[in-house]
């Protein structure tokens, strides 16, 4: 299968050795193996507390035996800012540091910053780099709150946002000016699932000395490693697949060495930090990330094959050669997650809504990435005022997240509901 390719490439960069890391009074072992799967299962064991997962360490005050010990810790922190040396709770605890170390290995990056939400990581990426008078280039199909942040909120700070066509990168290159500071990518596009030529975007960014950011929540580093590809920053909403149980809020911002100091300073000023309880749940969720994503992919492909037989439905999912955006997906990604879009052709909008409402095994709600399947009819609020998305009057978008249920049950549920599409 395709995702094995990425995993084998990862093996080349993960040396086989055992590293002991002392965190306060805890002794955490990070086991580096040739296998991504084995790494997720065996890393970060706590042999001090004799626990498979590290404990939740909650602290606002980090207490020391002497002032000398406190000053030594502060000196270590200045000398090694990514080493997990804390003197105040807002900086984190051993729990959050362990999660950072795990994600650092997964992302194959210089450092990972943790935020309270996925959108917190989006905000941090802009706040770290963009200043009044700058211009930014943003992919047209971005997450709707990201669109509001860029085109509305940043505008009041004299930051100009220009959107580009994800299928025509000439619209990206032609809009670069002397004021352009950053390129922001979301791939695939939010709700409309456009896969972009990522290497070309990176090449353009480097040629014009621009910073580059990508929202990689759909794939996670299990299917795509953007920092290795050349991006400066990579965002993942830990709310989704990392936690996997629809009960955690969190985000990660993986960075290279070029932008580290920028993000470090912004992170300190904003106070955007993940709490230890959510960090613990994300660590626990990561243990089964590979198993869950493999199953999400397997189920999604079976559902996609079924839906593709209906002439009224165009799948916005790269499930096989020749399908929508398959070429760009296949070029960069080693696998596909469970989130897909449907473009439904119907002159009766109410019938599309009835189709969605008739689903019994799909919940109705925002977010995704959990074990349960979800359905959402797309309205303006979800899509935003797109510049390059053209829908005919009889075309409607529906988003499905294919969960971990028996795919036969999901297909049967969809079969019964599809008959309402007129």
The model's pLDDT over 69-101, given as tens digits with 9 standing for 90+, comes to: 999 999 999 999 988 888 888 889 999 999 999
CB 289 within 8 A of CB 391: no
Average pLDDT over residues 30-34: 65
- Counting the structural domains of the chain, the total is 2
Confidence of residue 117 (pLDDT cuts 50, 70, 90): very high
pTM exceeds 0.85: yes
Confidence of residue 134 (pLDDT cuts 50, 70, 90): very high
Confidence of residue 38 (pLDDT cuts 50, 70, 90): confident
Confidence of residue 312 (pLDDT cuts 50, 70, 90): very high
CA nearest neighbour of 409 among 362, 342, 354, 358: 362
- Nearest-5° angle of CA 126, CA 132, CA 134? 70
Q: Is the pLDDT score of 11 beyond 80? A: no
Residue 241: per-residue pLDDT: 98
Average pLDDT over residues 120-143: 97
Q: Is residue 330 part of a domain?
A: yes
Confidence of residue 35 (pLDDT cuts 50, 70, 90): confident
Q: Is the pLDDT score of 383 beyond 90? A: no
Q: Is residue 18 part of a domain?
A: no
Q: Is the pLDDT score of 278 beyond 90? A: yes
Q: Which of 237, 258, 286 is the last residue of a domain?
A: 286
Q: Is residue 151 part of a domain?
A: yes
Alpha helices for 83-197 (secondary structure H): 94-107, 118-129, 144-148, 170-173
Q: Cα separation of 158 and 412, whole Å?
A: 52
Residue 34: per-residue pLDDT: 67
Higher-confidence position of 210 and 43: 210
Confidence of residue 23 (pLDDT cuts 50, 70, 90): very low
**101 and 204 in a common domain:** yes
Q: Which domain holds residue 343?
A: 289-418
Long-range contacts of 257-264 (CB under 8 A, 24+ apart): 257/110, 258/232, 259/128, 259/129, 259/211, 259/232, 259/233, 260/82, 260/110, 260/111, 262/128, 262/129, 263/113, 263/124, 263/125, 263/128, 263/233, 264/81, 264/113
The secondary structure of residue 150, as a DSSP letter, is I
E strands of 195-291, at which residues? 211-215, 233-237, 251-255
Q: Which of 286, 313, 333 is the last residue of a domain?
A: 286
**343 and 250 in a common domain:** no
**345 and 274 in a common domain:** no
Q: Which of 255, 286, 317 is the last residue of a domain?
A: 286
Q: Cα separation of 410 and 77, whole Å?
A: 51
**254 and 112 in a common domain:** yes
Q: Is the pLDDT score of 13 beyond 70? A: no
Residue 115: per-residue pLDDT: 98
List for the chain the helix, strand, coil content (%; round to 5): 40, 20, 40
Average pLDDT over residues 363-379: 94
**261 and 315 in a common domain:** no
Residue 325: per-residue pLDDT: 87
Residue 347: per-residue pLDDT: 92
Q: Is the pLDDT score of 16 beyond 60? A: no
* Residues forming beta bridges with residue 161, ordered by sequence position: 136
Which of 57-61, 226-230, 254-258 is least confident? Answer: 57-61
Both tokens of 309, joined, read 């037989």
pLDDT per position as a tens digit, 341-355: 999 999 999 999 999
**229 and 121 in a common domain:** yes
3-state SS, residue 273 = coil
**298 and 198 in a common domain:** no
Residue 379: per-residue pLDDT: 79
Q: Is residue 24 part of a domain?
A: no
**261 and 391 in a common domain:** no
CATH number of the domain encompassing residue 155 = 3.40.640.10
Q: Cα separation of 398 and 168, whole Å?
A: 24
Chain-centroid distance of CA 318 in Å reads 18
Residue 66: per-residue pLDDT: 95
Residue 12: per-residue pLDDT: 34
pLDDT per position as a tens digit, 160-196: 999 999 999 999 999 999 999 999 999 999 999 999 9
Q: Which residues lie closer than 8 Å to 137 by C-beta, 6 or more apart? A: 162, 163, 164, 172, 175, 176, 180, 182, 183, 184, 210
Which of 13-17, 40-44, 169-173, 368-372 is least confident? Answer: 13-17
Q: Is residue 324 part of a domain?
A: yes
Both tokens of 169, joined, read 């990168």
Q: Is the pLDDT score of 322 beyond 50? A: yes
CATH number of the domain encompassing residue 390 = 3.90.1150.10
Q: Which residues lie closer than 8 Å to 41 by C-beta, 6 or more apart? A: 287
**207 and 304 in a common domain:** no
Both tokens of 30, joined, read 């990070």
**206 and 145 in a common domain:** yes
CA nearest neighbour of 282 among 4, 53, 61, 15: 53
Q: Is residue 25 part of a domain?
A: no
Q: Is residue 338 part of a domain?
A: yes
Higher-confidence position of 418 and 83: 418
Q: Is residue 35 part of a domain?
A: no
Q: Which residues lie closer than 8 Å to 269 by C-beta, 6 or more apart? A: none
Q: Is the pLDDT score of 288 beyond 50? A: yes
Q: Cα separation of 195 and 330, whole Å?
A: 10
Neighbours of 270 (CB within 10 A): 14
**278 and 345 in a common domain:** no
Average pLDDT over residues 116-139: 98
**325 and 272 in a common domain:** no
């Amino acid at each position: 299968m395709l995702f094995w390719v990425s995993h084998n490439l990862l093996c080349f960069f993960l040396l086989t050795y055992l590293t002991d890391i002392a965190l306060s009074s805890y002794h955490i072992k990070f086991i580096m193996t040739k296998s991504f799967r084995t790494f997720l299962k065996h890393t970060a064991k706590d042999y001090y507390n004799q626990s498979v997962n590290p404990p939740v360490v909650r602290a606002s005050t980090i207490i020391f035996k002497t002032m000398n010990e406190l000053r030594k810790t502060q000196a270590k922190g200045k000398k090694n800012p990514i080493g997990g040396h804390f003197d105040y709770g807002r900086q984190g605890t051993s729990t959050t540091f362990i999660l950072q170390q795990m994600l650092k290995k997964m992302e194959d990056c210089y450092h990972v910053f943790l935020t309270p939400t996925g959108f917190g990581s989006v905000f941090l990426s802009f706040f770290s780099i963009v200043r009044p008078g700058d211009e930014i280039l943003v992919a047209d199909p971005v997450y709707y709150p990201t669109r509001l942040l860029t085109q509305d909120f940043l505008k009041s700070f004299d930051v100009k946002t220009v959107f580009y066509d994800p299928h025509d990168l000439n619209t990206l290159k032609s809009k670069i000016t002397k004021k352009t500071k950053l390129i922001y990518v979301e791939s695939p596009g939010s709700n409309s699932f456009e896969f972009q030529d990522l290497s070309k975007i990176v090449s353009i960014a480097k040629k014009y000395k621009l910073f580059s950011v990508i929202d990689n929540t759909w794939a996670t580093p299990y299917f795509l490693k953007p920092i290795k590809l050349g991006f400066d920053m990579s965002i993942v909403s830990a709310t989704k697949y990392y936690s996997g149980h629809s009960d955690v809020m969190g985000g990660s911002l993986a960075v290279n060495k070029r932008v580290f100091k920028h993000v470090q300073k912004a992170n300190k000023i904003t106070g955007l930090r993940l709490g230890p309880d959510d960090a613990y749940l994300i660590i626990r969720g990561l243990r089964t990330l590979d198993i869950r994503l493999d199953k999400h992919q397997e189920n999604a492909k079976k559902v996609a094959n079924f839906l593709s037989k209906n002439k009224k439905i165009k799948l916005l999912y790269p499930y096989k050669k020749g399908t929508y955006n398959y070429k760009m997906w296949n070029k960069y990604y080693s696998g596909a997650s469970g989130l897909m879009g449907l473009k439904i052709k119907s002159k009766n909008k109410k019938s599309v809504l009835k189709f969605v409402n008739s689903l019994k095994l799909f919940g109705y709600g925002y977010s995704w990435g959990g074990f349960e399947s979800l359905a959402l009819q797309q309205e303006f609020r979800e899509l935003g005022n797109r510049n390059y998305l053209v829908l005919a009057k009889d075309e409607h978008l529906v988003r499905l997240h294919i969960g971990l249920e028996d795919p036969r049950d999901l297909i049967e549920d969809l079969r019964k509901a599809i008959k309402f599409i007129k």
